[in-house]
């Protein structure tokens, strides 16, 4: 080993990192390997230079795994991994080390190797997982970012997957809370619980493989202000099988899991299952029965999950009831006239087209154009690609 390597990653860490990059090595096989051998021996075992433990030997018998690993476990692979870690500043922590996150220590399936960007101390704050569909409605996105904003201000970390839709908007809200405090009101008391909580991201691909591409800035900011976690080796592509595995870590890291918008199937529901396996409280944001994006969350509420209508519901679930401490939430938008309030009440819930607005409210088209224009200017409705939505909270 060169001098430089020892500076950046210890030998143990480098070996472990290299092991994760082997083909067909999932979290289970990796755990087995590292359970019976220390990382450096494990690497030798894989290379065929050391005698494997019986269990490991049995594992390596399976469908030519041993041969495949032996072919791939080269110096090249090691150097590649090292270069990637160094370039992106990726560190890792092994199961059993003292700095390994305590919240994952007693998990059902703790990752044997955890890569991270940023500061692992971020995991010491209270943590709430926020998940939801990738094709969210505008009001769903706003609601997610509002919740995250207020949670962050209350010292609760937002854990999310940095996917498109709800995930990304939750983190945008969390980052916004930090920006706001950093820039404008330094003098004001920070929050009911003092510190602003750092954001936590858990991603499926390698930490230097930004997916989706347009979230590059978001990844960087989360890593700078909080921590970004992954159990995939650096450079690993976002293959489909990695997402359910990621969801398990996300669930394990959450003290409370909030589903903002979800259909009845999909990644969010997998995370919910993982959370329920671990006896983690799942909360759901109910939506209009007409809103397809809320079918899954409504189902959860039906099955007995507590509904979330504001940040207090989450704080109560965490045992951080501060309803008396914080000021009443304030809607900065101007009050609506009686007529406008009626229109908003009729249309709230699901996205609607101009057609539906005219038919449901019975307002003539020209007048409807005026009303919607006014409501949009006041911030009560938004328009995306011809679809309108009522935003319930400014």
User: Is 143 one of the binding residues for another protein (CB under 8 A)?
Assistant: no
User: Is 164 one of the binding residues for another protein (CB under 8 A)?
Assistant: yes
Identify the bridge partners of residue 229 per DSSP, sorted by sequence position. Answer: 116, 202
- Of residues 196 through 215, those in contact with another protein by CB under 8 A are 212, 214
User: Is 359 one of the binding residues for another protein (CB under 8 A)?
Assistant: yes
User: Is 365 one of the binding residues for another protein (CB under 8 A)?
Assistant: yes
Residue of 98, 106, 183, 385 that binds another protein (CB under 8 A)? 385
Residue of 10, 40, 135, 224 that binds another protein (CB under 8 A)? 135
Q: Distance (Å, rounded) from C-alpha 330 to C-alpha 245?
A: 39
Q: Of 292, 209, 198, 300, nearest to 253 (Cα)?
A: 198
Size of the site for another protein (CB under 8 A): 49
Of 10-18, 61-69, 103-111, 290-298, which segment contacts another protein by CB under 8 A?
A: 290-298
Tokens standing for 87?
């370039």
User: Is 332 one of the binding residues for another protein (CB under 8 A)?
Assistant: yes
Of 71-79, 108-116, 143-151, 336-344, which segment contacts another protein by CB under 8 A?
A: 143-151
**Angle in degrees, CA 350, 355, 359, rounded to 5:** 90
Judging by DSSP bridges, how do beta strands 156-160 and 281-284 pair with one another?
unpaired
Q: For residues 232 and 297, which CB has a smaller minimum distance to another protein in the complex?
A: 297
User: Is 145 one of the binding residues for another protein (CB under 8 A)?
Assistant: yes
Task: Return the axis-axis angle of helices 11-20 and 75-88, rounded to nearest 10°.
Answer: 100
User: Is 149 one of the binding residues for another protein (CB under 8 A)?
Assistant: yes
Alpha helices in 128-266 (DSSP H): 138-153, 166-183, 216-225, 242-253
For tokens 């990621």, the residue is 246
Residue of 261, 271, 282, 311 that binds another protein (CB under 8 A)? 261
User: Is 224 one of the binding residues for another protein (CB under 8 A)?
Assistant: no
For tokens 């969010």, the residue is 268
Q: Distance (Å, rounded) from C-alpha 125 to C-alpha 136?
A: 28
- Of residues 168 through 197, those in contact with another protein by CB under 8 A are 172-173, 176
Q: For residues 240 and 377, which CB has a smaller minimum distance to another protein in the complex?
A: 377
Least Cβ distance, residue 218 to another protein (angstroms): 10
User: Is 89 one of the binding residues for another protein (CB under 8 A)?
Assistant: no
Task: Return the axis-axis angle of helices 216-225 and 166-183, rounded to nearest 10°.
Answer: 50
Of 60-68, 93-101, 320-328, 374-382, which segment contacts another protein by CB under 8 A?
A: 374-382
Count of helices and strands (H, E) across the chain: 18, 11
User: Is 369 one of the binding residues for another protein (CB under 8 A)?
Assistant: yes
User: Is 351 one of the binding residues for another protein (CB under 8 A)?
Assistant: yes
Residue of 227, 372, 375, 381 that binds another protein (CB under 8 A)? 372
CA distance between the termini of the chain: 57
Least Cβ distance, residue 114 to another protein (angstroms): 28
Q: Are 156 and 125 in contact (CB under 8 A)?
A: yes
CA atoms within 13 A on the CB side of 180: 15
Q: Are 191 and 154 in contact (CB under 8 A)?
A: yes
Residues near another protein (CB under 8 A): 133-138, 140, 142, 145-146, 149, 164, 172-173, 176, 212, 214, 261, 291-294, 332, 350-351, 353-356, 358-359, 365-367, 369-370, 372-373, 377, 379, 382-387, 389, 391, 394
């Amino acid at each position: 080993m060169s001098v430089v390597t020892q500076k950046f990653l210890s030998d143990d860490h480098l070996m472990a990192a290299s092991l994760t990059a082997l083909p067909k090595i999932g979290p289970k096989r990796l755990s087995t390997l590292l359970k019976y051998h220390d990382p450096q021996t494990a690497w030798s075992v894989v290379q065929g230079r050391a005698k494997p433990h019986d269990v490991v030997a049995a594992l390596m018998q399976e469908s030519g795994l041993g041969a495949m690993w032996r072919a791939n476990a080269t110096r090249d692979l090691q150097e590649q991994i090292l270069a990637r870690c160094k370039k992106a500043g990726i560190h890792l922590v092994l199961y059993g080390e003292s700095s390994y996150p305590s919240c994952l220590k007693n998990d059902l399936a703790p990752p044997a190797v955890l890569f991270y960007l940023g500061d692992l101390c971020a995991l010491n704050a209270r943590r709430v997982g926020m998940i939801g569909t990738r094709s969210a409605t505008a009001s769903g996105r706003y609601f997610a970012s509002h919740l995250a904003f207020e949670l962050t201000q209350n010292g609760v970390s937002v854990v999310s997957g940095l996917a498109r839709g709800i995930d990304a908007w939750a983190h945008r809200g969390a980052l916004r809370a930090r920006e706001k405090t950093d820039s404008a009101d330094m003098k004001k008391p920070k929050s009911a619980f003092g510190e602003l909580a750092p954001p936590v991201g858990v991603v499926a691909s390698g930490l230097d493989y930004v997916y989706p591409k347009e979230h590059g800035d978001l990844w960087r900011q989360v890593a700078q202000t909080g921590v970004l976690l992954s159990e995939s080796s650096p450079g690993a592509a976002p293959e489909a099988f990695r997402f359910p595995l990621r969801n398990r870590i996300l669930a394990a890291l959450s003290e409370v899991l909030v589903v903002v918008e979800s259909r009845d199937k999909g990644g969010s529901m997998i995370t919910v299952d993982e959370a329920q396996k671990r006896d983690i409280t799942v909360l759901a944001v109910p939506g209009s029965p007409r809103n397809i994006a809320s079918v899954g969350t409504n189902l959860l509420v039906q099955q007995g999950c507590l509904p979330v209508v504001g940040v207090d519901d989450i704080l109560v679930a965490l045992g951080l009831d501060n309803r008396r401490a914080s000021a009443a939430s304030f809607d900065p938008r101007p009050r609506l006239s009686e007529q406008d309030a009626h229109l908003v009440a009729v249309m709230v819930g699901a996205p609607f087209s101009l057609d539906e607005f005219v038919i449901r409210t019975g307002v003539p088209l020209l007048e409807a154009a005026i009303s919607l224009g006014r409501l949009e200017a006041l911030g009560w409705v938004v328009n995306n690609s011809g679809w309108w939505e009522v935003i319930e909270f400014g």
